[in-house]
Amino acid sequence: MSLDERSTFLLTKLVNATELVTVDHVIDQLGISKRTVHYDLQKINDWLNENNLPIIQTKQGMGYYLSEEAKQTVPKLMKELKEWQYHYSQPERITLIGVELLTNDKPIFMQNFMERTQVSRGTVAKDLKLVKKVLNEEALTLQFERSAGYVVEGKEENKRRILSRFLSEVLTNGQLTEMTNFLYPLLKNGDEHTYSHLIPMKQIIMNAEPILKVELTDDTIHVLAIQLVVLLQRLKGEHRIQLDPDEKHAVCSTREFEAAKSIAKDLEVQFKLSLSIDEIGFITMHLLGSRINYSEVGTVGSLESNKLRKVVTKIVNEFQVYACVLFEQRDELEEALFLHLKPTYYRLKYHVPITNELTESVKQEYPDVFSITKRAVWPIELMMSQKLPDDELAYLAMHFGAWMQKEELPEVTFGKTIIVCEKGIGTSNILRGQLEKLLTNVEIIGTVSRRQFMQSHYDVDYVFSTSPLEHDTLPVLTVNPILTQQGKEKILHWMEEVQTTSHEEAVPNPDVIVEIMKKHGTITNEKELRNELQQLFTPLPTTLSIERFERPMLNDLLHEETIQFATDTSDWREAIKTAAMPLLATEQITSSYIDAMIKNVEDLGPYVVIAPGIAIPHARPEEGVNTVGMSLLRLDQEVPFSSKEKHQVKLLIVLAAVDNETHLKALAQLSELLSEEENLEMIYRAEEKEEIIKLVSKYSN
C-alpha cells in the first residue's frame, strides 16, 4: 500500500520528533478532526506492518512516537518526503532557501524556491533579498545567471560557516521541526545513500571520543554527523577549504586536532576521499565547539585554558554579587562552568554557530536568572571582544539556575529515578534541579546520556527522559528540560499512576494471607486481623504536590516600615547593623544574621558594594533568616567599606533570603531601579519615605 500526502506528513513528523507527538498538536497543524488523526495513524500502522516495522508507540495517552528501528528505516523506504499544507514563516523560508543554495550543485531558479516553500514569486523575491543580506554578512554574494540560476559566490570557508548556521537552526530549533522533513532530500544532491551515511558518520565520531577524553552529547553527535555529510558532498563537488594560517597553526596543537585526524582517516577509508590539513582543521574547529556530557581531562591545561578558568572565577564572583547568593560547592560549579565555557570560547573564536532550542523557555521560566547571567558574563565578553548571543547566555543561565536549585534531599520514600538527557551537562542539571524540587521524596541517582543508559543497568524504579525512550521493564516519562506549570502537573499525575500501579502489583492480598495462616495455626480474631492487614497494605496518601507560591515583588519588601534615613554611622559595621534593624524588629532575621553579614565582609572584603555608593549586605539563609525580607538605609554622609573611592557607600539595602530563588524577582526589580542614575539622585535627595515608596512601586510589576 502507499501513503497519501497527509499520512506522509504525519509519518515524517514522527520520524523527526524529539518528543511525544500529541493528537492535539496534529489537529492544530493539519486542521483535521481527532477521528481523522486516528484514521491516519491506523493507515501508517498498516504501512509499517506491511514493511515489517514496529507500529507507532503510545505513552499512556500522552502522545505518540516511533521506535528507533522505525526512525532509522522509514526514511530509506520513503522515496520522497513530501510537504503538505505547512506554511513556513519567513525565517524558516530563509533557512530553507539558504540550505538549498549551499547544498545543490545543480542550477536553481525562482520556480524551484516557489515549489519548495509553497509561496508566491513576489514572496520568494523578498525572501531572496533577505538571504542575500545574510550571505553578505559572511562576505558572500548571491548571483543570478540565466543559464546557471542562483549561485553563491565567495570563499568556501564562509560558505561552510553560514551553512553550519543554517543546519544548526534546522536541527536544533524546535520551531523548525517540520523543516527537517526536507533536510535529507536537500542533502542528497544525487546521492541516494545520504541518510544511510549518517549511521557510519556517527560511529566515526564516537570512535574519536577516547582521543578527546570526553563524551559528546547525543545531540552534538547527530549535528556533527550531518556536518560530515555536508563535508562529504562539498569534497565530492571539489569545493575545498583554505584556513587562515594563524587559525590553522592554533588548532593543530590541540587534542581535538588529533581526534579530527582520526575522523579524517576513517572518512578516507570508508568514502575514498583524501582530506587536506585545512579540512582536518575545519573538523577540529567543530570539535572544539562541541557540547559534552563529561570530560576525563584533568585540571592542568594550556595557557588558554588557564585564562579561561580565571574568567570563570570572575563570572561566578559577579553572579554571586548580582544574585546575592553564596554558592556552597563553588569549586564544583566552576568546574562545570569551565567544561561548558571552553567549547563556548571556541565557538565564538572560530564562528561555529549553535542554536539553543531552550532559549525562549529559559527566558520565560527563569527571567531573573537569565538577566543576572547577562550582567555577570562581561569577563568572557571582554576576553572575546564580543557580546554573547542569547543562545549562549541561556546555556550559562541553565548552569547557574541548576546550581541555585541544589538542596539536600529529605529521606527517600518514593523510590529512585534517573534522568536520561541527550543535551549535555547544563540541560541535564537544570532538569535535575527542577525534579528534585518538585519530587522531594524521590532520589535522583544521576543524569546519563542515552548511550550510557542503553549500555548499562541502573537500579531505579522509573526514568525521566528528554526524548522518547523505550524500556522493557521500567516506566519512562518524556519531559521538556524546562518545566512549565503544566509540565510539572503532568509529572505528578504520571508519578501517582506509576505509584498506584506498582503498589497494586506488589501488595499481597490480605484474604490470601489469612487463608494461609489458617492452615498453620489458630486465629482468635479473624475480623480484626483482616482489618489490620488491610491497613498495613493500604498505601499512605502521597505528598506529591506542586509548591505554588508567588515570588515577592520589590514593594512587598521595601515599604514604610523597612525604609530608614540617617545622617551617618561610625563605620560600615554600624551601618549594616542599623540597616538591618527593621528586619530584626519584625523577627524576619535574628541577631546572628547581622553578625554573619559583618563576618562575610571581614573575610571576603567589600564584595557587597555592587556599584559606587551602593551596598547590598547579605549572608546565607541558614545563618539566621526566618522569612524573606529587605530593608533600606539612606545615609547623608558616606561610610567607607574600604579606602578605595568606589567603596564609599551612602545607600545600603540589606537582603534576607530564605533560599537561592525566592528573592530574585524583587532583586531584579531593585537592580533595574538602581541602574538609572536619575533614580539614585531621587533617593539621595528624598526627604520623605513616600518619595522612595513611589519609586519602588513604579518598578514593582
52: left (phi over 0), alpha (psi -120 to 50) or beta: left
C-alpha 83/C-alpha 605 separation (Å) is 63
Give yes or no for a contact between 543 and 441, defined as CB atoms under 8 angstroms apart. yes
Angle, CA 34 vertex, CA 29 and CA 37 arms, to 5°:
65
Angle, CA 157 vertex, CA 152 and CA 163 arms, to 5°:
60
Beta carbons within 10 angstroms of residue 593's beta carbon: 25
Give the 3-state secondary structure of residue 696.
helix
Give yes or no for a contact between 269 and 232, defined as CB atoms under 8 angstroms apart. no
Query: What pairing do the DSSP bridges indicate for beta strands 613-615 and 609-611?
Result: antiparallel
Cα-Cα-Cα-Cα dihedral sign, residues 175, 178, 184, 190: negative
SS3 content of the chain, % helix, strand, coil (to 5): 60, 10, 30
Give yes or no for a contact between 439 and 491, defined as CB atoms under 8 angstroms apart. yes
Q: Which residues contact 452 (CB under 8 A, 6 or more apart)?
A: 215, 293
Catalytic residues: 618
C-alpha 318/C-alpha 211 separation (Å) is 35
- Residue 59 β-bridge partners: none
Assigned C-alpha cell, 42: 491506523
Give yes or no for a contact between 372 and 668, defined as CB atoms under 8 angstroms apart. yes
Give yes or no for a contact between 222 and 171, defined as CB atoms under 8 angstroms apart. yes
200: left (phi over 0), alpha (psi -120 to 50) or beta: alpha
Give yes or no for a contact between 251 and 261, defined as CB atoms under 8 angstroms apart. no
Helix or strand holding residue 615 (H, E)? strand 613-615
HSE of 596 in the Cβ direction (CA atoms, 13 Å)?
17
Closest CA to 102 of 59, 63, 154: 154
- In angstroms, what CA-CA distances link 613 with 186, 599, 644, 671, 689? 59, 21, 11, 14, 19
C-alpha 508/C-alpha 512 separation (Å) is 8
What single letter denotes the amino acid at residue 317? Answer: N
Q: Which residue bears the cell 503532568?
A: 490
Q: Which residue bears the cell 512549565?
A: 484
- Which 8-state DSSP code applies to residue 570? S
3-state secondary structure 301-318: CCHHHHHHHHHHHHHHHH
Closest CA to 154 of 168, 136, 171: 136
